[in-house]
Amino acid sequence: MPLRIKPPFPLYVDEITPDKIKATTLRPASVLFNIRMLTKYGDMSMGELVNGIYLFPAGRYICMLVKSKHTKLVADNMVLLDLVERPDLAYEMGEKFAGMDLQRKFSASYTHILYHTETHERFTLVVGRLPTDIEVFPLKPRPPYES
């Protein structure tokens, strides 16, 4: 089935904390699907890898991808943080990152989210498995072989 989805675009997560601040995705298919949604509909790029983490704004969320040790996977897991209403927590979390480069990326991502409120409703979190009838990367059929 080709991917035809209307906004708000789903991001599949395994769990959301009771305070609704942190969502985590561990399943590789869900991580790949979420990356596709974010890059296709989020007007974002993952940017550069810093200390094994990709960190970038995604709608109302700060997205963190931990780089995978597997060559075929971009990331082993995804964490989405909703800190729009919690600047105190954002400030506290930003200071905990190891290294100034990661702290700067976190700060830039949070600032971007605060100034781009029009993107806050672009994505919705869906707890559960990615439906099996969704092809994350539909493949085109091979052209017939010609000699």
Q: What distance in Å separates the CA atoms of residue 55 and residue 78, rounded to the nearest whole number?
A: 10
Q: Is 147 inside a domain boundary? A: no
Mean pLDDT computed over 116-136: 86
Domain count, the chain: 1
In a domain, 143, yes or no: no
pLDDT at 41 (0 to 100): 83
Show the tokens assigned to 60: 């109302």
Q: Give 66-101 pLDDT, tens digit per residue.
A: 887 777 767 789 999 999 999 999 999 888 888 889
Domain assignment of residue 42, yes or no: yes
Q: Which residues contact 106 (CB under 8 A, 6 or more apart)?
A: 55, 62, 93, 94, 97
| Domain that includes residue 62, residue range | 9-125
36-69 pLDDT, tens digit each: 889 888 777 778 888 888 899 999 999 999 887 7
Q: Average model confidence (pLDDT) for the chain? A: 85
Q: How far out from the chain centre does Cα 127 lie? A: 14
Q: Which residue carries 């954002």 as its tokens? A: 90
